[in-house]
Amino acid sequence: MMSAREKRDHVPLPGDGCGLELEYPARLVEPSAWLAHVPFAMWLVGALKPRMIVELGVHTGNSYCAFLQAAQTLGLDTRCFGVDHWYGDEHAGHYGDEIYQEFRAYHDRRYGTFSTLLRSSFEEALPYFSDGSVDLLHIDGFHTAEAVSADFKSWFPKVSSRGVALFHDSNVRERGFGIWQFWEELSSRYPHFEFLHSHGLGVVYLGTEPLTGPLKALFATKTDAENERVRGYFARLGTSVAERRAGLTLAANVDATKGRVAELERELAAVRAELARTNTDTDALKAELEAKIQAVQSDAAREQAQAEAVRAMLDQTKRQLADLNAQLSNAGALTDGLEAKLHAAQGEVARANSNAAALKKNLEEKLHAAQDEVARAYSSADAFKKDLEEKLHAAQGEAARAHSSADAVKNELEAKLRAATLQLQIQASLVRQRIGVAARLQQELLVAKSDKCSYELRLQEILQSTTWRYTGPFRRAVILLRRLLPPNPLF
C-alpha cells in the first residue's frame, strides 16, 4: 500500500493501476546498482505486457528477476530470455562460475517454466530470435559507447513494432562509460524518458505502433515539473528498495557479527578453562619441583659425604703409588734389556718386511709383463681376426662380382643365341620363299619353252605350206612382225 506522501506525489499515468511498482522484489543481491530501478521495471512490464523480454547482460539477476516476477505476478503469457556469458568485464568486474551456478539454481526453481538462460555472447544469441519479435529489450552489457552502439545496431532488427528498450548507466561519466554519448544521439530520434537516480536509466520507444495508455503518458512531452514528479516517485520507491536491501545486509552483518561474538565468547571461555587447568597444573608442578629440590639437597649431602670418603681413598692411593714408583725404578734395568731385545726384533721385522716388499714388487712386475704379453697376444689375435674378416669380405665381394659377371655373360650369350636362332629362322624362311619362287619360275620357263617350240613348229609348218610365190612377202612380214613385237623376256 502507498503511504500518504506517495499518494500525494504519485503522477497519475493512465492505465497504471496494477500497482506492481509497489510490490517488494523477491531477489535483492549484490551488486546493488540496479536495485533502485526495480519498481519501474515491474511497472513497465505491467504497462507494456510484452510477449517477449530479452535482457543482454544478466550478471546476478536483479533487473531480470524484476521482469520475471512482474510477468509471473500478472500471469502474462510472456517468453523471457537472459543472455550473458557470465565471465564479467572491465566495468562489471570479472568473476568465476559460481555466480552463474547460484543464479541458475535460483532461476530454474522459480521461473524455469517460461524463462531461459542463454550462456553465450550477444552476437552468438542473435540467430535464435526472429526479426520483430522482442517487445522489451534491456541492453546492459559492456558500457563503452562503441560497445553499446554495436549491441543496439545488431539487435535493433529484433525489436517489434511496439518495442521498448532500456539502457542502464546513462548518467555515468567516468571509468570509460560511454552510454551517455550513445543516449544523447538515440534520444534525439525516438520518444524517450530518462531516470537520473542510481546511475541513470534510459527508456526509449522504438516501435511504430501509436502509443496508448500508460506508455503514452510516460513518453508524452511533459513539463519539467511533471518529469521531476515521475522521476521523484520512482526514485523514492527505488531508494526504499535499496534501503531495504541495505537494511537486510546490515541485519545479516549484525547477525554475522553476533555469531562471531558468540563464537569469540566460546573461544574465550575455552581459553579461561584452559588457563584454570594450566594454573592447577602449575601448582602441582611447583609442589613437585619443591620435592625434587629437597631430594637434590639430600643427594648433595650424601655426595659430600661420599666425596670425603673419596679423598681418604685418594690419599691411600697416593701412598700406594709412591710404593709402585719405587718398584718401577727397580724394574728399570730389566726394562732396558727388554727394550734392546725389542729393538733388535723390530729391526729383524723391518728387514723381513723389506724383503717381502721387494719380492712383492718383483712378482707385480712379472705379473704386469705377463698381462702386457697377454694384451699384445689379444691385440695380435684381434688384428689377425680383423685381417681374416677383411679378406673374407673381399673374397665374398669378388665372388659376388664374379657371379654377377657370369650372370651378365650368360645373359649376353643367351641373348646372342636367341638373336642367331631368330636370324637362322628368318634366313630359312627366306630360302624357302626363294625355292618356291625358283620352282614357280622353272615351271613357267618350261611352259614358255613349250610354247616357243609350238610357235616355231607352227611357223615352220606355215612357211612350208605356202606356195613359192608367197614365200618372200610372207617372210618379210614375219620379220617385220618380229621387229614390232616386244622381245620375250624368258629367252
The 10s digit of each residue's pLDDT in 173-227 is 877 787 888 999 999 999 999 999 988 999 999 999 999 889 998 988 788 888 8
The dihedral sign for the CA sequence 6, 11, 15, 20: negative
Between strands 134-139 and 159-168, the pairing is parallel
The three three-digit cell numbers of residue 65, written as one number: 528477476
Residue 261 has pLDDT above 80, yes or no: no
Please tell me which residue, 451 or 145, carries the higher pLDDT value: 145
Please tell me the predicted confidence (pLDDT) of residue 375.
78
Amino acid at 311: R
The Cα–Cα gap between 78 and 72 comes to 9
Sheet holding 159-168, edge to edge: 115-119, 79-84, 52-56, 134-139, 159-168, 201-205, 192-195
Amino acid at 289: L
Please tell me the predicted confidence (pLDDT) of residue 39.
93
The Cα–Cα gap between 317 and 320 comes to 5
- Give the confidence band of 312 by pLDDT, cuts at 50, 70, 90: confident
Please tell me which residue, 365 or 345, carries the higher pLDDT value: 365
Percent of the chain with pLDDT over 90: 27
Nearest 5°: the CA angle 214, 218, 224 is: 145
Residue 246 has pLDDT above 50, yes or no: yes
- Give the confidence band of 252 by pLDDT, cuts at 50, 70, 90: low
Q: Which of 89-103, 116-130, 251-265, 279-293 has the lowest mean pLDDT?
A: 251-265
Over the stretch 453-485, which tens digit does the pLDDT of each residue have?
775 676 566 556 554 444 566 666 766 666 665
Please tell me the predicted confidence (pLDDT) of residue 309.
74
Can you tell me the mean pLDDT for 139-151?
Answer: 88
Contact 100, 134 (CB under 8 A): no
The three three-digit cell numbers of residue 260, written as one number: 562471531
Between strands 192-195 and 201-205, the pairing is antiparallel
The Cα–Cα gap between 43 and 74 comes to 11
Residues in the chain: 491
Percent of the chain with pLDDT over 70: 76
The three three-digit cell numbers of residue 343, written as one number: 729393538
Contact 115, 54 (CB under 8 A): no
Global pTM exceeds 0.75: no
- Give the confidence band of 289 by pLDDT, cuts at 50, 70, 90: confident
Please tell me which residue, 77 or 396, carries the higher pLDDT value: 77
The helix/strand count (H/E) of the chain reads as 11, 9
The Cα–Cα gap between 128 and 123 comes to 10
Can you tell me the mean pLDDT for 359-383?
Answer: 77
**What mean pLDDT is reported for the chain?**
79
Between strands 79-84 and 52-56, the pairing is parallel
Can you tell me the mean pLDDT for 366-383?
Answer: 77
The three three-digit cell numbers of residue 429, written as one number: 624362311
Contact 155, 139 (CB under 8 A): yes
- Out of 17-26, 74-83, 317-326, 366-375, give the one with best mean pLDDT: 74-83
